[in-house]
Amino acid sequence: MWNLQENIDNVLEAIENDLREQVSELRSKSPHFLPRLAIVQVGGREDSNVYIRMKLKAAENIGIMAEHIRLPRDCTQTELLTKLTYLNESHQVHGIIVQMPLDSEHQIDSHLITDAVFSHKDVDGLNTENEGRVSIGDFSGFVPCTPAGCVELIKRTGVTIAGKNAVVLGRSRIVGTPVAELLKWENATVTVCHSKTKNLSEITKTADILVVAIGRAEMVRGSWIKPGAIVIDCGINPIPDPTKKSKQRLVGDVAYEEAAKVAAYITPVPGGVGPLTVAMLMRNTVLAARRQLERQLRPSWGLQTLRLTPLSPPPSDIVIARSQKPKHIAKLAEEIGLYPNEVSQYGTTKAKISLSVLDRLSTQRGGKYIVVAGITPTPLGEGKSTTLLGLVQALCAHRGRNAFACMRQPSQGPTFGVKGGAAGGGYSQVIPMEDFNLHLTGDIHAVTAANNLLAAQMDARIFHELTQKDSPLYDRLVPKIKGVRKFSPIQLRRLKKLGINKTDPDSLTDEERTKFARLNIDTNKIMWNRVVDLNDRYLRKITIGQSPTEKGFTRETAFDISVASEIMAILALGKNVEDIKDRLANMVVALDKSGNPVTADDLGVTGALMVLLRDALEPTLMQTLEGTPVLVHAGPFANIAHGCSSILADKIAMKLAREGGYVATEAGFGSDIGMEKFFDIKCRAGGDVPHCAVIVSTVRALKMHGGGPAVSAGQPLHDVYVQENLELLDKGLCNLGKHISNGRKFGVPVVVAVNRHGNDTEAELNLVKKYAEQNGAFKAVICNHWAEGGAGALELADAVIEACDNKSNFDYLYPLNLSIQEKILVIAKEMYGAGRVEYTDEVLEKIQTFTEKGYDKLPICMAKTSNSLTGDPSVKGAPTGFTLRINDIFVSVGAGFVVPMCGEISKMPGLPTRPAIYDIDLNTKTMEIDGLF
């Protein structure tokens, strides 16, 4: 008889060495990566403690981070399940085991508990899914540890299992049943015995391999064993032993001394199967960690796309959108590498994505960065959103690349006004388009509430300062609560700003109290309006404070549309939560009577704003018609702000897309407005380097720039737009040339997407393509994604891939150390083609004030019409040498840019004579929305 104990230590050492090498290999791929095991224990049984100490020691030896989570004996089943849910959803935990037996005062279903551990973290192999896989010979899950240790020991004897008679004594789901299955799939002939088996000793005598897991001390005698058999004893039982200090000793289910005289190989107890069980647990943990890391690092998502069956001619956008059943958003999230704790579902088709993804993937290299902009558009739009989505569908669903679309959330102003929906169009859309266009996950409403809370607090503070003397005003600002008087953290920040280095409210002098309590806002120099997410022309100028309760303190103010709020711009430009909070704190809402800025922090509202915006800080995951991912976040007004989706959404998308992937995002309007702001404001704030710019062009818009009649929403197109007219088109190509030139000035390749419309002729499309390629475009392609989805944008996808493979020579248009006027002049000349810039005296005074306050180091966010390269919306084409007039200027200190106003730019659109409202309705039988587009 050869005692397996002689070889067990060598086996364990070999396994541990192998696992240490595997851990080292994993860390070479990701330096901060470490396999993590959570060991959950209910109660404190000493035998369980012994096993747990063995596991913790083994983990430490291998390089696994093991955490022992102790739950008290009064832990309930619900509390235990809650803890397991947390561990299941944590990306930092790769393996979970629940130490059995459960030592609880309450009844807990142990089978329910083992099944509650996610199968891909069930390193004990006790989840029913893993057990079922083993039973059919599928070892892609996790094999239970003790059975795996048994088979490992048998193999280490050098004896071939195939063809042998194996008898398993015991049918428990932890050892007996799974070890029988493992031996079966090793091609042994297996007999399972249990308490009801007759002639047990006769059956065990037939075994070449005998595995005993019956739980009865020394039940199997030497006479039960076939000479030369392999005996694996899985039992461990205490029996009385007066010679021991504890008066007990541990024995197996086999009478060892008797069996050792008969068997060729036998495992001792203790010290046999137990250590191998722990080693198998460590092996499973490393395997779980490897699988997670490989999933994280794999170059392709392996996305399951949705098939399109385009109709010709395409039906309405909403009919197309409803013809496709979206994937469950949890499925899409899993496909692109998100973990359950990073996804907060809003129903089945949209979900908020946690910013913690950026921490988890901090060392992950990101994908290529693409901006989609346009030429100077008609009021109908030229299909930037549609092109963006068609491009991403082509990249992801057809070219197999990881690719994200990042988009702004549509405002309800245009939705119910002129444009209708903004989810793309035709077979290149975000779905469900109703959700996308209406409310979504409430971000715009959160911005509205935050903006208006700040306005309400400002007006309330003005009222209270006007109606109270210094002492009661101070006492109300710093009241005694349960006899204790103290400053809140935000009040301490104001004291520091004022140079008052005191923390005891009672220690301030009268002068200091007055200085602290009075903001002295100049009501003629208030810069903060209320907002609403609708077009409402009658709110462009209002009078507030007319109620008798306001004691006659009225003033004129206005409402803006919600997406024009500085808070929306901040949401889009913040790099992280702290950055957003700092920007909110620094928002200047008014000047005091001495001309000093009054900020949101001075009003004590920063923390409250963050609370209202908490959920809005996270981007929303949706999908295209072909099941590819879209991140929707923020919606800053493109005329008055920078008109791009959020930096946070782009950063998350680039991390998830990985090094070989692509992230395409849209910039509002043409290259002169949206793209310039994307490069000079957004990229500067986020620190990301773009690889390619896509300029969307249409024959229709170029004909308009060639002198075609006005294009108006809701009006039939003139004949020149529906019939071939190469001469008119040729005259308008200069506008496309200017936009190509604009993109190239930033050092990125420009790909022109000629967005095909139904009335375009091949001669017209080819004329645009030829012109673009002869005038600086990296590539120009004709696209038909509206009618065909991603398949209609394959040439565009290939051109973008090729452009992104070129080295980016990106640079900003201007350095920040230039003066405000110098930066404006650079933009006016280089982007618009202006010859000079003209300012009113009032604007020059404001520029001087901004410079004195240090705002001259901020980038410029030009507020200009989108309908022309000039400040005059009626001027088309690509004029040069004109004078650009700046008639007003303001600063968004929190957002971090100076806004010169070129002409009249309304921050509150109005409804047209026939708004889209007329077409929008709710079907009261199906509860479906009609008429969005």
- The catalytic position among 22, 41, 99, 429 is 99
Of the chain, the end-to-end C-alpha distance in Å amounts to 83
Distance CA 827, CA 45 (A): 74
Q: Annotated catalytic, 296?
A: no
Please provide the DSSP assignment of 834-871 as one string.
-SEEEE-HHHHHHHHHHHHTTGGGSPB--B--SS-SSS
Residue 595's SS3 state is: coil
Distance CA 453, CA 505 (A): 26
- DSSP strands (E only) in 141-233: 165-169, 189-193, 209-212, 230-233
**248 close to 239: Cβ distance less than 8 angstroms:** yes
Q: Annotated catalytic, 99?
A: yes
Structure token digits, residue 882: 């004109």
Residue 327, phi-psi category: left (phi > 0), alpha (psi -120 to 50), beta (remainder): beta
Packing angle of the helix pair 273-297, 5-29 (nearest 10 deg): 20
The 3-state DSSP composition of the chain as helix, strand, coil percent (nearest 5) reads 40, 20, 40
Distance CA 308, CA 737 (A): 35
Structure token digits, residue 218: 């020394």
Distance CA 232, CA 152 (A): 11
- How many helical (H) and strand (E) elements, i.e. helices and strands, does the chain have? 34, 38
**532 close to 639: Cβ distance less than 8 angstroms:** no
**602 close to 494: Cβ distance less than 8 angstroms:** yes
Distance CA 780, CA 795 (A): 9
**299 close to 657: Cβ distance less than 8 angstroms:** no
Beta strands 189-193 and 165-169 are: parallel
- The catalytic position among 122, 124, 435, 560 is 124
* 786: Cβ contacts below 8 Å, ≥ 6 apart: 314, 383, 386, 390, 425, 426, 427, 428, 755, 756, 757, 792
Q: Annotated catalytic, 55?
A: yes
Any idea what DSSP says for residue 100? S
- The catalytic position among 22, 41, 55, 655 is 55
Give which of 552, 350, 326 is closest to 442, Cα–Cα. 350
Q: Phi then psi for 219, rounded to 5 degrees?
A: -70, -40
* 491: Cβ contacts below 8 Å, ≥ 6 apart: 477, 478, 516, 604
Rg (CA), the chain: 35
Active site residues: 55, 99, 124
